[in-house]
Amino acid sequence: MSDQDSRDIDTSFLDRMAKPSGQQHPREESQQEDRRRSVRNEDPRAGPEVNTSTWDDRDGGSDRRPFGNPFDEIDQDEHYGALSGKDLLEMSDEEVIWEYRELKSRCRRDKGLRKHFRTVRKDVDKMLEKDREFNQITGIVARIGKMITVLCILFVFLGGMMDGAYSIIDKPYDWTVLEYLQFLIVMNVTIAWYTVPYGSILIIGAVLGFAIRYASGIIGDIRSDRIRYRLIVMLCQDGVTLRDVKRLKSTVKEYGGVEDLLYYFQPEEGSQ
């Protein structure tokens, strides 16, 4: 052990890992200095039963370090750097985006991982799409907006066609595709605006309906993006797909939303 005593270890990482002074664990300064000294002397390859110092994280990991604590005996058996569902939910968006970028750059090098990443992303996107369509308020609003748009466009075009049908007869037969497009899009709308009763209201309704659908789609995307990247990172890191999860967990059949699924990735209470 004498050569280990003389090891020159930079212990500044302990300060970096320490919590902000407001959340500092109530402990004497001298005790912290003791722990630093014992960390400097310990064998890094040995487990916590050999090394006396434990940089404790027993208060539930409230300092939100995503990678867990390398000196914590609870995490010794786990793959270092593995993120649990709880970690990912607690991480900020910036950190999750960093993880997602890191995953994508690893996919560039690893063909197997790339294939797995694509499968997972497709599955998660499909699941979230379903979630947005059926479960969230934005999905319902989007459907209402789409219905308004479709109905208004239908009435506008029907009315415009009926009123403008005679004008198409006057046209020469050698119309180009562009001219037909003009008639369908612009002339039809113009005719409907001026001649069809409530035509202008219908056209404004169609535009508004489209805007509602557009906006609610964006809101739904932003809401689900928070979950999307977390799920993709988590599934890729564990090397499983969403289908595996569904096969393993029969209760997922009654799956009601993303939150329920994320629940299964959270570490069990007993293991902590």
**C-beta of 39 vs 236, nearer to other proteins:** 236
**C-beta of 14 vs 113, nearer to other proteins:** 113
**Least distance to other proteins, CB of residue 220, Å:** 9
**C-beta of 117 vs 229, nearer to other proteins:** 229
**Least distance to other proteins, CB of residue 123, Å:** 14
Positions that interact with other proteins (CB under 8 A): 97, 100, 125, 178, 181-182, 185-186, 214, 217-218, 221-222, 224-225, 228-229
**Least distance to other proteins, CB of residue 216, Å:** 12
Amino acid (one-letter) located at 264 = Y
Please give the structure tokens belonging to residue 258.
């993303």
- Residue 87's nearest CA partner among 126, 110, 61 is 61
**C-beta of 214 vs 263, nearer to other proteins:** 214
Torsion-angle region of 198 (φ positive above 0: left; ψ -120 to 50: alpha; else: beta): left
Contacts of residue 212, defined as CB under 8 A and 6 or more positions apart, other chains included, come to 141, 142, 144, 145, 148
- Residue 132's nearest CA partner among 245, 234, 233, 219 is 219
**C-beta of 134 vs 214, nearer to other proteins:** 214
**Least distance to other proteins, CB of residue 215, Å:** 9
**C-beta of 71 vs 183, nearer to other proteins:** 183
Please give the structure tokens belonging to residue 212.
């509602």
**C-beta of 39 vs 235, nearer to other proteins:** 235
Token pair 């609610």 is found at 216
**Least distance to other proteins, CB of residue 149, Å:** 13
**Least distance to other proteins, CB of residue 178, Å:** 6
Helix 93-109 × helix 111-134 angle, to 10°: 140
CA dist 130 and 259 (Å) reads 14
**Least distance to other proteins, CB of residue 271, Å:** 31
Residue 223, CB half-sphere, CA atoms under 13 Å: how many?
19
* Cβ atoms of 88 and 232 closer than 8 Å: no
257-to-135, 139, 179, 194 alpha-carbon distances in Å: 8, 13, 49, 48
